[in-house]
Copies of this chain bind each other. A is one copy, B any other.
Amino acid sequence: MGGEHAEVVRLLWGPHPKPARGPRPTLDLDRIARAGIEIADSEGLADVSMQRVAAQLGVTKMALYRYVPGKAELVALMVDAAIGPCPAAKVRRGDWREQLEEWARQLLTVFRQHSWALDATVGPRVMGPGELSWLERAVSALDGTGLSGAERMDAAVLLVGHVRGITQQTRAAGPGGNPEAQLGTILGDLMQEHGERFPALTAALASAAQSDGQDQAWDFGLQRILDGLAALIDRRAR
């Protein structure tokens, strides 16, 4: 169990011993990951293939297999490099709510910049140092709140889930048009034809038509989660 993970762990966490003999490598893991990220950012994850990445680096596809055992590992490297290390907090320590809110906004920004990372992070996987640094900051923001270790981690996971959910329904909406309107348009067309089967939905949609907040769903969910955490923390404090 977990033996198959050993390889990707070594790739993500090192060490990376440089060879003693033989010709010098033309590539390195970092350049490979960055090349893949460049393609994924501009053309989507589906267009990331060994050939494509190799071409980007001016090399044959098989050369990549000298550095990376397979495509799965390549993608794992790309994800961790794209998510990157979590930037340091700017708000004062001690206020967990402000810290978590800033953290969530930063995470959302990163996910929006590399929205292909969503596709590449379905299912449980080995996390790299970048991804773990994000988790670290979220958990540390909750230090001293009276929450147990498991609860602090659960809270972080909950927030990540929201970020992912929002990223999912946001992306592919052109940078100009707001995503809720786009979703509403598609839904509205369907409701016009099958509305009688979904009365509550049509009503909600009609009432939601004039609300035009850019990030309404994001802020709503974020505040609800933070409210829920605050309620628990208060209860514990008493």
Contact = CB atoms under 8 A, between A and B. Distances in A.
A194 B158 CA distance: 25
A205 to B, nearest CB: 6
Interface residues of A, number: 78
A204 B75 CA distance: 29
Contact of A172 (B123, B143, B224): B123
Given A208-B149, A227-B231, A194 B129 contact: yes
Contacts of A206: 149
B150 A207 contact: yes
Interface stretch (A27-35, A56-64, A177-185): A177-185
A54 interface: no
Contact of A231 (B194, B197, B228): B228
Contacts of A221: 154, 157-158, 161
Contacts of A148: 207-208, 211
Contact of A124 (B13, B150, B182): B182
A55 interface: no
Which of A126, A137, A224 counts the most chain B CB atoms within 10 A?
A224
A123 B129 contact: no
A52 interface: no
A200 B165 CA distance: 26
Contacts of A13: 190, 193-194
A155 B205 contact: no
A192 B223 CA distance: 35
Contacts of A122: 118-119, 122, 168
Contacts of A140: 199-201
A208 B139 CA distance: 12
A176 B111 CA distance: 33
B228 A173 contact: no
11 contacts: A9-B190, A118-B123, A123-B168, A124-B168, A124-B179, A136-B198, A140-B200, A149-B208, A157-B221, A165-B165, A224-B232
